[in-house]
Amino acid sequence: MPGYHQVTASHMPAEVAGITGAHLLQYIERIERLEEEKTALGEQSKEIFQEAKSSGFDPKIIRIVLRERKRTPEELDEEETMVLLYKQALGMMPAADS
Amino acid sequence: MPGYHQVTASHMPAEVAGITGAHLLQYIERIERLEEEKTALGEQSKEIFQEAKSSGFDPKIIRIVLRERKRTPEELDEEETMVLLYKQALGMMPAADS
Amino acid sequence: MPGYHQVTASHMPAEVAGITGAHLLQYIERIERLEEEKTALGEQSKEIFQEAKSSGFDPKIIRIVLRERKRTPEELDEEETMVLLYKQALGMMPAADS
Amino acid sequence: MPGYHQVTASHMPAEVAGITGAHLLQYIERIERLEEEKTALGEQSKEIFQEAKSSGFDPKIIRIVLRERKRTPEELDEEETMVLLYKQALGMMPAADS
DNA sequence: ATCGAACCCCCTTTTC
DNA sequence: GAAAAGGGGGTTCGAT
């Protein structure tokens, strides 16, 4: 009883056996290489957060600041304004002033 | 320096003050109610997983089975076949038979 | 119909064949039932967001408000204060006053 | 009326003003740099997936293969065996043998 | 109490 | 523009 010949699907590249596998492997390995690098960067990030924490900074607050730095001041203002407006409409705010 | 009057945005509903707040509150509270129910269901789910675990079943495997049951056998077969094909092309498989 | 006897693993419940399957099925079906309900609630939620959007409210802002309503005012204040502090230390703020 | 002096929190580093800001900024910028690199890698990944897709490979299947390659064959086998066992107990399988 | 992993949710992007 | 898929972030749980 034969091997993998039966499972050939019609939408696989119609190339000579072996070529397709090598071709696919190229892609796979390139992606894996990139993922390794991403993982390494993630670890470095984590270390910096730990350093910062050791220095007395709150990682959670740092994350918020990082997030806000990615956005334009206009975006932030716009959103903040809208949130404030909604909260006031809901009576969640002390009315802001007289 | 006055209060929230300045922050009125043009795309807020042009309704009488108070109406909008009540309107918004309706939505908010309905959503919150649904979220509460969802949380309750999630807790029940968790309990069942714990029961199952106590009975000797592996929650991780159960999750996999649940996921597969959501898909049609055809989908599963199709995917499984393709994965097998790719793995064989990559030499990740023992060739499937003697 | 011999089937699954061969694949029996040592850490499966040592019960009479059939009992275990029925037992497992109980758990599976209870969980699936809960998941269905959760899905239904999720759909209702989505509908409400769409309604709100149709009424001129911004779903994104609503989500923020919902998130904040889950937290205590003290938490919110504390966090907001810290974020402000960090941003000032970073020179991201206009100095906060005249 | 002064600026940010009032919001000073007791758990901020008791260092000379300016030092803390510079210190924090160091962390922030290092993290941002890493995030940029991660983003770049992600873009390269995406390009490779597109290439692969253009060559007739299914990105979805590739992702599954990548995931499996991260795990040891033993892990995969163990899990696969257990899933099969559970499915058979549930009557989800065609009995698996002659 | 800290660390790590697993799960869930939101959001963005792409596809149809 | 509606639906789906992938990626990222946050949170919670278990483990040490």
Q: Give pLDDT, residue B31.
A: 96
Select the residue of D65, D82, D86 nearest B87 (Cβ to Cβ): D65
Over chain A, what is the mean pLDDT? 84
In chain C, the percentage of residues whose pLDDT exceeds 90 is 69
- The string of pLDDT tens digits covering residues A11-40 is 555 466 678 899 999 999 999 999 999 999
Q: Give pLDDT, residue A67.
A: 95
Q: Does residue A45 carry a pLDDT above 90?
A: yes
Q: Which residues of C touch A92 (CB under 8 A)?
A: 65, 68-69
State the average pLDDT over residues D72-78: 90
pTM for this structure?
Answer: 0.84
Structure token pair of residue C34: 């809960």
Q: Which residue of D has its CA nearest to A10?
A: D56
Select the residue of C6, C12, C85 nearest D4 (Cβ to Cβ): C85
D47 close to B22: Cβ distance less than 8 angstroms: no
Low-confidence winner among A5-9, C55-59, D22-26, D64-68 (lowest mean pLDDT): A5-9
Mark which residues 28-87 of B lie under 8 Å from D by CB.
Answer: 57-58, 60-62, 64-65, 68-69, 79, 82-83, 86-87
Q: Give pLDDT, residue B93.
A: 76
- D12 band by pLDDT with thresholds 50, 70 and 90: low
Q: What is the C-alpha to C-alpha distance for residues A31 and D61, in angstroms, rounded to an integer? A: 14
Per-residue DSSP letter, D17: T
Contacts by residues C44-53 (CB-CB < 8 Å, ≥ 24 positions apart)? C44/B34, C45/B31, C45/B34, C45/B35, C48/B27, C48/B30, C48/B31, C48/B34, C49/B27, C49/B31, C51/B27, C52/B24, C52/B27
Over chain B, what is the mean pLDDT? 84
Q: Give pLDDT, residue D95.
A: 56
Q: Give pLDDT, residue B19.
A: 81
Over chain D, what is the mean pLDDT? 84
- The string of pLDDT tens digits covering residues B13-31 is 545 667 899 999 999 999 9
| Residue with more model confidence, A43 or C14 | A43
CA–C1' gap, C74 and E15, in angstroms: 45
Kindly give, in sequence order, each residue whose CB lies less than 8 Å from that of residue B96, ignoring residues fewer than 6 positions away: A3, A4, B84, B88
Low-confidence winner among B94-98, C7-11, C67-71 (lowest mean pLDDT): C7-11
Q: What is the C-alpha to C-alpha distance for residues D71 and D73, in angstroms, rounded to an integer? A: 6
State the average pLDDT over residues C39-65: 94
Q: What is the C-alpha to C-alpha distance for residues D83 and B62, in angstroms, rounded to an integer? A: 8
State the average pLDDT over residues C57-85: 94
Q: Give pLDDT, residue A71.
A: 93
Q: Does residue B75 carry a pLDDT above 70?
A: yes
Instruction: Using a CB–CB cutoff of 8 Å, tell me whether B14 touches chain A.
Output: no
State the average pLDDT over residues A45-64: 95
Asked if A1 lies within 8 A of B98 by C-beta distance, the reply is yes
Q: Give pLDDT, residue B97.
A: 52
Q: What is the C-alpha to C-alpha distance for residues B34 and B40, in angstroms, rounded to an integer? A: 10
